[in-house]
Structure 1
Amino acid sequence: MSAYVPALRRYFSKRADIVDIDDLVQDVLLRMHVRRQHAAGEDEEIANIEGYLFQVAASVLTDRARRDQARQRNAHFALTDEFHPVEELTPERVLGGQEDFSRLADALEEMPDLTRDAFVLHRFEDMSYDMIAQHLGISVGAVGRHLMKAVRFLAERDLP
């Protein structure tokens, strides 16, 4: 049966997710093994082993699709760090965050009023350039210049 593994892998690679291929191949081989065990006492040979093998592979795909639909597999998310990051809140990290926040607040206080207002509205209030311009009574181009000025001001102080 191992001679058919590459062909089964190619078959499944066109029909299933790459992460499921090994499991699908294993399911086919297991079904073939079980069939061989049940047919051991009987004189029932498979005339076209390759055709039968791919018929079993198609059946495995169908069974997997039914099982996935019943379990709503597509609606689940993997429990990975991407979706559930694990971060330790050590005293050092908390202190570092407080210091960064304090430095940012001090830098914002040092900025010219209009530059600070444009920056705060854009970064913290998620306002568009047009909305900021309207709110502050300046042109859209002036908003862009004030934001660039704020970014340079913070970069000079190694702030985000």
Structure 2
Amino acid sequence: MSRGHAVRAGDGAISRDRHGPASDTLQKYLRAVRGFFIKRVQASEVDDMVQTVALRIQSRGEASSAIENPERYIFQVARSVMIDQHRKNVSRQAARHETLEEWHHPVDEMSPDRIVESADALQHVMNALHCLPTRTRQAFVLHRFEHLSYGDIAAEMGISISAVEKHIMRAIRKLSVALDDE
């Protein structure tokens, strides 16, 4: 016996045979299960849940070779799948999820005008960077482009951390002024 259902060999039984009367019976009931789910769950979950019902029935093996009341059994499996899905949605807080739409990821058009403007802006920044004193430029590049800490920069340049801070602050001020003049 399985889940309180009497199991017997008989004509109305569900079997693992994928082709034949039992398979037709399963398909008939799965269409009804689809209708059952459509009334109770989100449309996006229906196909997966019907497939899960079919998979659970098929995976029962020899135990599902003969079920006295296939309709009741299939709908009991469907209710079980629905409850499992609800528990999964609650534990994953599915109601709080947002779907990603196209407008969440705006496409940044790379028009020829924009490419030219960006290249000009980059050239302006590079010119401003080359106008900095050598030690100031070196400290700034090591920090902003090489991502070194002030301590590492100080060790590499042979100066104090305080001197590194002053070089970087000087670079930021001069670059800000140069870029504002643009």
Q: Output the TM-score relative to the length of structure 1.
A: 0.50
Which one of the candidate residues 33, 40, 49 is aligned to 1:5? 40
1:98 CA drift (Å)? 2.2
Which one of the candidate residues 82, 85, 107 is aligned to 1:57? 82
Structural mapping, 1:29-108, within 5 Å = 46=72, 52-57=77-82, 88-108=109-129
List alignment gaps of at least 5 residues for structure 2.
Answer: 1-35, 54-68, 87-101
Distance verdict in 2 for CA 1:4–1:152, change over 3 Å: same
Identity of aligned residues (%): 32
Contact 1:5 / 1:25 at 8 angstroms: preserved in 2? no
Structural mapping, 1:21-32, within 5 Å = 23-28=44-49
Contact 2:37 / 2:46 at 8 angstroms: preserved in 1? no
User: 1:25, 1:91 → 2: CA distance?
Assistant: 47
**Aligned equivalent of 1:122:** 143
User: 1:134, 1:5 → 2: CA distance?
Assistant: 67
1:30 CA drift (Å)? 7.8
User: 2:46, 2:134 → 1: CA distance?
Assistant: 66
1:148 CA drift (Å)? 2.0
1:150 CA drift (Å)? 1.4
List alignment gaps of at least 5 residues for structure 1.
Answer: 10-21, 33-42, 62-79
Contact 2:38 / 2:46 at 8 angstroms: preserved in 1? no
2:171 matches 1:150: yes
Distance verdict in 2 for CA 1:97–1:27, change over 3 Å: closer
1:128 CA drift (Å)? 2.3
Distance verdict in 2 for CA 1:112–1:57, change over 3 Å: same
1:134 CA drift (Å)? 1.1
Q: Deviations over 1:49-68 (max 9, x none)?
A: 6x54332337889xxxxxxx
User: 1:31, 1:121 → 2: CA distance?
Assistant: 57
Higher relative contact order (CA 8 A, sep 6+): 2
User: 1:122, 1:44 → 2: CA distance?
Assistant: 72
1:97 CA drift (Å)? 2.3
Contact 1:27 / 1:60 at 8 angstroms: preserved in 2? no
Q: How many residues align?
A: 115
Match of 1:98, SS?
helix
Distance verdict in 2 for CA 1:29–1:5, change over 3 Å: farther
Q: Deviations over 1:68-120 (max 9, x none)?
A: xxxxxxxxxxxx9x99x965543222321221122112211222222111011
Q: Output the TM-score relative to the length of structure 2.
A: 0.45
